[in-house]
């Protein structure tokens, strides 16, 4: 018996008989018996009793306090709000004026949740002893984006100069003039877009058409800056994701990564042309990235209906249908006894339950009504479709065996008489007792599609086996 692997989803590769699949939806790439396979992905579930954020989300951050509890903040165009353990929002600040298309940039630094946009300026909210979201005196004006590395805060696009970067004194975000505070205006590379701490005193700095590396301890100065790329950069800060020394983002020519100290085009000849045709490079700046380290994937939310997942170990892609307005890693916010309302009888969990102290951030987001939720539901509906196969002549397909442990899946056969005509699909056939599906199809060109219903329990789907004679 010979199994044909589904292969990687690479929509940029055309033609029949390619070792790639034409559809990989509701799944994530993973190791398979013949190389690459696919596994399930959980559905997004809105939190029970969740309250809607007051407007379209413009940024989300989870912050761990010194005592180990977590606080969650989200921005809209006019507010910053904080989430409690009952998934209810309350205002931290109102009357902001974040410009259309911009996000609020967040950064956790010591006891503070720093936040900024190009009209509100740099502000700080003490998450240990809250006393308002206050302007940082002496900060470099209205700042578009902030990040920290090696205990230094970096401010990008300062006070209307989109090529100006300022760095604070070490350990003091209120000092921008002495004790190592510095600044630089970049004469090339275009506007500053964003930056991320990688690890070990190294950060990535993104411009419209340049990429630079910030390294602490590399010379006599507090830090040095090295250009890694010229003519390529990042379209928007919201596309930029960093995890454990790696970074992932989108440029106008598709997605890129920084892994192992080198730049990699992770979409070229895989899905970059597909993305240009189906998303459009003018819309790449709206893609929002988040990392899911438990599955070794980065997910970019494309719109309110789906996202793209990239497994950095398998170096391959898939599509994830999801109805969201934002993606993030969101913690379960901690709650104190003093903040509880009602009576003991109203509580749905006991006082000593760990839910009150909050949990570490997990892959989560906001639904299309701006309510929080998590990817903890039953498995998504999954579809895997082979590329077009041209076996020669018009052989009879009598049976197909999907190589998967999805007991409830079905297999459909598509046929076409020429490469210029569309496939005609027969109805899907459920697996028999031994995993085979009885078929009866002829065609010069064939394709095979496994469909796994939402909620089905399964762990792998690697490919399919086809036969033309009777099968017991």
| Nearest Cα residue to 420 out of 9, 17, 15 | 15
Q: What is the pLDDT of residue 354?
A: 41
Q: Give every CB contact of residue 218 below 8 A, 6+ residues apart in sequence.
A: 224
pLDDT tens-digit readout, 178-188: 999 999 999 99
pLDDT mean across residues, the chain: 93
- Given a cut of 50, the residues of the chain with pLDDT beneath it are 339, 341-342, 346-357, 470-472
Q: Which is it for the CA torsion 132, 133, 136, 137, positive or negative? A: negative
CB 26 within 8 A of CB 383: yes
DSSP for 165-223 reads EEEPBTTBTT-SSSTT-EEEE-SSS-SEEEEEEEETTEEEEEESSEEEEEEETSSSSSE
Q: Per-residue pLDDT tens for 160-217?
A: 999 999 999 999 999 999 999 999 999 999 999 999 999 999 999 999 999 999 999 9
Which domains are present in the chain?
4-42+380-467 (2.60.120)
265 and 250 in contact (C-beta within 8 Å)? no
CA angle 35, 40, 41 (to 5 degrees): 125
**pTM for this prediction:** 0.93
* pLDDT given at position 469: 55
3-class secondary structure, 389: strand
């Amino acid at each position: 018996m010979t199994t044909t692997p589904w292969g990687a989803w690479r929509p940029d590769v055309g033609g029949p008989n390619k070792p790639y699949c034409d559809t990989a939806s509701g799944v994530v790439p993973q190791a398979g018996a013949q190389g690459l396979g696919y596994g399930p992905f959980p559905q997004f579930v809105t939190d029970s009793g969740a309250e809607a954020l007051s407007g379209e989300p413009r940024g989300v951050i989870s912050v761990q306090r010194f005592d180990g509890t977590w606080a969650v903040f989200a921005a809209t165009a006019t507010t910053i709000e904080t989430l409690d353990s009952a998934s209810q929002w309350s205002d931290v600040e109102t009357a902001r004026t974040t410009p259309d298309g911009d996000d609020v940039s967040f950064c956790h630094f010591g006891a503070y949740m720093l936040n900024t946009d190009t009209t509100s300026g740099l502000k700080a909210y003490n998450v240990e002893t809250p006393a308002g979201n206050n302007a940082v005196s002496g900060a470099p004006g209205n700042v578009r984006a902030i990040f920290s590395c090696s205990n230094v805060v970096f401010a990008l696009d300062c006070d209307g100069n989109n090529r100006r970067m300022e760095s604070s004194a070490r350990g003091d975000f209120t000092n921008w003039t002495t004790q190592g505070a510095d600044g630089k205006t970049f004469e090339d590379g275009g506007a500053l877009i964003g930056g991320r701490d990688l690890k070990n005193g190294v950060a990535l700095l993104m411009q419209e058409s340049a990429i630079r590396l910030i390294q602490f301890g590399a010379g006599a100065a507090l830090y040095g800056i090295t250009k890694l790329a010229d003519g390529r950069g990042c379209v928007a800060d919201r596309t930029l994701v960093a995890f454990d020394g790696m970074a992932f983002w989108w440029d106008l020519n598709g997605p890129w990564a920084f892994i192992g100290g080198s730049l990699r085009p992770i979409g070229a000849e895989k899905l970059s042309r597909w993305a240009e045709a189906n998303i459009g490079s003018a819309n790449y700046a709206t893609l929002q990235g988040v990392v899911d380290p438990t599955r070794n994937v980065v997910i970019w939310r494309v719109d309110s209906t789906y996202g793209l997942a990239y497994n950095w170990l398998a170096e391959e892609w898939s599509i994830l249908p999801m109805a969201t307005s934002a993606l993030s890693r969101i913690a379960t916010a901690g709650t104190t006894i003093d903040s509880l309302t009602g009576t003991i009888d109203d509580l749905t969990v006991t006082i000593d339950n760990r839910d009150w102290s909050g949990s570490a951030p997990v892959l989560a987001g906001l639904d299309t009504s701006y309510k929080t939720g998590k990817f903890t539901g039953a498995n998504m509906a999954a579809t895997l479709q082979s590329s077009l196969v041209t076996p020669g002549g018009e052989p009879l397909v009598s049976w197909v065996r999907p190589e998967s442990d999805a007991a409830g899946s079905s297999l459909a056969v598509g046929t076409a008489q020429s490469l210029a005509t569309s496939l005609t699909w027969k109805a899907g056939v459920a697996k028999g007792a031994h995993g085979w599906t009885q078929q009866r199809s002829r065609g010069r060109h064939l394709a095979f599609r496994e469909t796994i219903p939402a909620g089905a329990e399964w762990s792998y789907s690697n490919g399919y086996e086809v036969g033309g004679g009777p099968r017991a």
